[in-house]
Structure 1
Amino acid sequence: MGVLFQLQENCLRAMGHSHAKESTEDRALSLKHISSLLFVVSAQYPLISYVVYNRNDMEKVTASLSVVLTNLLTVVKITTFLVYKQDFWKMMSRFRKMHQQSSPSSRSKDGTDYVTEANKLATFLGRAYCLSCGLTGLYFMLGPIVKGVASSWRGTLYVRELPMPMKFPFNDVDSPGYEVCVLYTVLVTAVVVVYASAVDGLFISFAINLRAHFQTLQGEIKNSDFALPEKDTQAGLKSLVDYHDLLLFLSRKLRSIYTPTVFGQFVITSLQVGVIIYQLVTSMDSVMDLLLYASFFGSIMLQLFIYCYGGEIIKAESLQVDFAVRLSNWYLASPKLRRSLALIIQQSQREVLIRAGFFVASLANFVGICRTALSLITLIKSIE
C-alpha cells in the first residue's frame, strides 16, 4: 500500500483523532475538539472589538474583517469535523478496501495505477495548500517583528503591534499583556491552520480518489467482452453495476459531509474577496502590507480552488461513464444485459455535483469569483 491515504491519516492525526473504538477515549477526543472550537470562537471577541474600536478607519476595519471571516470559516470546519469525524474514517477505509480489490483493468494504457497516481496528486495539492496556509500565518506572526527591526534600523519610534488586528479588554501594548496576547494569537493561528488544512486536505484527497475509481470503472467497462455467452458475462456486469452504485453513494456521502463547509466556503470567500481586494488596492505604497495581503488572498483563493476543482473532476468523470458504455461492444450483448448497461447509462447521465444550496463547487464558479475580484480592483481604483 505504500503511502496510500497517508495524507488523510496525517490530517486526522494532526487534529488529535484516531480510529478509537473505546467510548471513553472517543469522549476525550470530542472534548479536545470542542475545546479547540471554543478556543477559536473566543478569538472573535478581540477581533470584533478591534473593528468597533476603529470603526472610523476603513483600512483597519477591513484588515480585521478579513481575519474575522477566516476565523469564522474555521469554526464551520471544526464543527463539520466534530459532527462527521467517524464518517471520515469510514470513507478512508472504504477507499483502501476498494484499492485492494482493484483488478488489472484499474491501470491506464501505460500500466499506471489510477489510484496510486491520484494519491500522488492529492498529496502534492495537500502539501501545497498546507504550505500556503502556514506561510500566510507566518507572515502575520513575523509582521510586527519585521516592522520593529526596520524601525530600530531607521531610528524611528515603533509602536508595538499584535500579529493580528485585535483589541483586548486590558493593556495589550505594554508587558506582560503584550507577550500574553502574542502567545494567544500564535496558538489561535496554529489551530486555524491545522484544522483548515486537515479538513480541506481530506476533501481533495477523497475527490481525487473518487475520480480515479470512476476512471477505473470506465476502463473495466471498455475492456468487458459482451460478445461472450450471457452466463459468462452476467456476474461481471453485475459487479460493474454494483461498483457504479458504490461510487455514486460515496459521492453523495462526500457531498453530505461537506455541505456546511462548501456553503461557508463560497459565502465567506465571496465576502473576503471584497475586503482583501480593498486592502490590496489601498496598500500599494507599502511593500510589506502588499506582500501580506497578496499572500492572504492567494491562500483563500487556493482554499476555494480545492473545493471547486474537486467538485469539477467528480462531475466530469462521473459523466464519462456514459461514454465508456457507448465505446464498448455493448451491441453484442444479450437484451437482458443491455438493460443493465442502460441502467448504468441512465445513472451516469445525472451530474454528480458537490453543492450546498445554490452554490455548486465547479471551476466555472471559481472563474466567476476571480472575474468579480478583477472587477472590484477596477471599481475601487476608479473611486479613488
Structure 2
Amino acid sequence: MEIGLQIFNRQTKCLRAMGHSLIHQVQESKWQRIPQFFVLFLVVSAQYPMINYAIFHKDDLELVTGCMSIAFTNMLSSIKVLTFLINKIKFLEIINELKTMWQNSGEYGFNYIKGSNIMADRVVNFYFYSVFFTGFYFLLTPLAKIAWAKINHMPIIRELPMPMRFFFDAEHSPVYEYAYIYTGCVTVIVVSYVVAIDGLFIAFAIHLRSHFRLLQHYIENNSFKSNEAAINTNIRSYVKYHSKLLRLAEQICQTFKPIIFVQFLITSLQVCVLVYQLVTNMNNVMIFVVYVAFLVSILIQLLIYCYGGEMLKTESSMVATSVQISKYYNLSPKYRKVLCLVLMRSQKPVIVKAGFYVASLENFMTILKAAMSYITLIQSLEQI
C-alpha cells in the first residue's frame, strides 16, 4: 500500500541529507562509504579543539564545565554516527521488516498501525524542532553578537558556536569565517544524525507497541468456537506473530545497545556539569535560560530511550494478560497448551538493557532526582 512508504519520514530525510540511500544493499562500494566516514571524521575532529579549550581554561571551572557539556554532546553524537555506520544493514533490515509487517497486517491492523505511525511522526517532528532550534541558537548567537557590536560601534569579539581553541588564530578574518563554517557543518551533521537515530528508536518502539496491541486484540476477541482447521490456523498465526515480535524486539535492543549505554553514561555526566552551570548563573537570566533549554534537550534524548524501553516492557508483558482474559476455555486441551506457551513467554517482558543500564521511566526519574540532589549540594557548598 502506498501509505506504507511514508513510514519513518523525518528520519529518512535526515539520513538522505547525510548521503545515505537507504536501499537495503548487502554491500556498499568503498566510494559510497568514503563520504559517510568523512562526515564521522568531521564530528570526531571537533573533540580536539573543545578539549584544548577546556585544558587552556583549566583554572576557570565555569568555562571548563560549559565546554565539557558541549564536548559530551559531540562525543555522544560520534558514537551514534559510528554505530549507525557499522550496523547500517541491521537498521535497514528493521525498517524494511516493519514496513512489510504493516503492509501485511490486514485492513484493521493497517488502520491501527497507521494511527501509531502518525503518532510516531509527531513525536519525531517535535524532537526534530527542539534539536534544530537548539543548534540554530548556538549558530546564530555569535553572528548576533557581532552584528550588535557593529551597530553600537563596540569592539567586535568573534566567537564560535562551540567553545573551541585551535592551534591557529581563529579570531580574525578570514580564518574565523572558515572556522565558523566548519563548526556549522559539525552542528548540522550532529542534528541530522541525532534526529535520525533517536527518532528511529522511538518510532521502532511505537510501531512494535502497536503490533503487540494488535496481537492482544486478536487473542482477546477470538471466540475460539470455529472449526478445528480455523482454530489451528489462528493459534499458529498468534505463535508466529508473537515470535516475530520478540525476535524483532531483541534485534532492536542489540542494535541500539552501544548507543543506549553511552547515552546513559554521558547524560549522567552532562547533568552534573549543566547543573553546575545553572547554579552558578542563577543571577544571569539569559545564560540561565540557555542552560535550562540545553539541559531539557539532553533529558529529552534520554527520555526517548527510557520511554521506548518502557513501552516495549509493558506491552510485551500485556500479551500474557490477553491470554488470561481470552476465551481459551473454548479450546481443546491441545490448543490450550500452545496458548499457555505464549502466556509463559510473555511473563518475561522485553527489557531494553545496555550493560548495567536499563531503559525505563524509573531510571529516568532516578537521574532527575540525582540532578535535584546535585543542585542542593552545590548550593549548600557555596554557602559554606
TM over 0.5: yes
Q: Which moved more, 1:26-35 or 1:115-124?
A: 26-35
Q: Which moved more, 1:195-204 or 1:153-162?
A: 153-162
| 1:105/1:219 contact within 8 Å kept | no
CA 1:96–1:17 in 2, change beyond 3 Å: closer, same or farther? same
Q: Which moved more, 1:61-70 or 1:8-17?
A: 8-17
Partner of 1:110: none
Partner of 1:193: 191
| Match for residue 59 of structure 2 among 23, 41, 56 | 56
Cα drift, residue 151 of structure 1:
4.3
Partner of 1:242: 240
Partner of 1:74: 77
Which amino acid is the alignment partner of residue 52 of structure 2? Answer: S
Name the CA distance, whole Å, in 2 between partners of 1:118 and 1:103.
Answer: 15
Deviations 1:189-215 (A, max 9, x none): 111111111111111111100000000
Name the CA distance, whole Å, in 1 between partners of 2:223 and 2:26.
Answer: 50
Cα drift, residue 147 of structure 1:
2.9
Name the CA distance, whole Å, in 2 between partners of 1:100 and 1:354.
Answer: 26
| Match for residue 272 of structure 2 among 261, 268, 274 | 274
| Match for residue 37 of structure 2 among 27, 34, 38 | 34
Name the CA distance, whole Å, in 2 between partners of 1:23 and 1:348.
Answer: 34
Name the CA distance, whole Å, in 2 between partners of 1:145 and 1:22.
Answer: 43
| Match for residue 310 of structure 1 among 291, 308, 311 | 308
Deviations 1:10-35 (A, max 9, x none): 24323321244677854333222211
Note the aligned Cα RMSD (angstroms): 1.8
Instruction: Map 1:160-179; keep pairs closer than 5 Å.
Output: 160-179=158-177
CA 1:48–1:87 in 2, change beyond 3 Å: closer, same or farther? same
Deviations 1:24-71 (A, max 9, x none): 854333222211111111111100000110000011101110111011
Partner of 2:104: 101
Partner of 1:358: 356
Partner of 1:15: 18
Q: Aligned with 2:19: secondary structure? A: coil
Which amino acid is the alignment partner of residue 145 of structure 1? Answer: L
> Structure 2-normalised TM-score?
0.94
Cα drift, residue 145 of structure 1:
2.5
Name the CA distance, whole Å, in 1 between partners of 2:211 and 2:14.
Answer: 22
Name the CA distance, whole Å, in 2 between partners of 1:272 and 1:136.
Answer: 16
User: What is the aligned residue count?
Assistant: 379
CA 1:278–1:154 in 2, change beyond 3 Å: closer, same or farther? farther
| 2:12/2:22 contact within 8 Å kept | no
| 1:50/1:64 contact within 8 Å kept | yes
Partner of 1:338: 336
| Match for residue 131 of structure 2 among 130, 133, 137 | 133
Name the CA distance, whole Å, in 1 between partners of 2:288 and 2:357.
Answer: 31
| Match for residue 230 of structure 1 among 228, 231, 235 | 228
Cα drift, residue 378 of structure 1:
1.5
Q: Aligned with 1:29: secondary structure? A: helix
| 2:11/2:195 contact within 8 Å kept | no
- Residues 1:183 and 2:181 aligned together: yes
Name the CA distance, whole Å, in 2 between partners of 1:313 and 1:344.
Answer: 19
Q: Identity across aligned pairs (percent)?
A: 43
Cα drift, residue 259 of structure 1:
0.2
Which amino acid is the alignment partner of residue 173 of structure 1? Answer: E
Name the CA distance, whole Å, in 1 between partners of 2:361 and 2:40.
Answer: 31
Which amino acid is the alignment partner of residue 80 of structure 1? Answer: T
Partner of 1:114: 112
Cα drift, residue 277 of structure 1:
1.1
Deviations 1:291-320 (A, max 9, x none): 321221111111001111110101110011
Name the CA distance, whole Å, in 1 between partners of 2:175 and 2:156.
Answer: 17
Q: Aligned with 1:262: secondary structure? A: helix
| 1:14/1:198 contact within 8 Å kept | no
Partner of 2:345: 347
| 2:215/2:241 contact within 8 Å kept | yes
Q: Aligned with 2:87: secondary structure? A: helix
Cα drift, residue 9 of structure 1:
2.8
- 5+ residue gaps, structure 2: none
Name the CA distance, whole Å, in 2 between partners of 1:246 and 1:105.
Answer: 19
Deviations 1:223-265 (A, max 9, x none): 2222334333011100100000000000000000000000000
Partner of 2:379: 381
Name the CA distance, whole Å, in 2 between partners of 1:10 and 1:162.
Answer: 28
CA 1:272–1:44 in 2, change beyond 3 Å: closer, same or farther? same
Q: Which moved more, 1:264-273 or 1:371-380?
A: 371-380
- Residues 1:323 and 2:321 aligned together: yes
| 2:212/2:315 contact within 8 Å kept | yes
> Structure 1-normalised TM-score?
0.94
- 5+ residue gaps, structure 1: 108-112
Name the CA distance, whole Å, in 1 between partners of 2:145 and 2:286.
Answer: 9
Cα drift, residue 356 of structure 1:
0.1
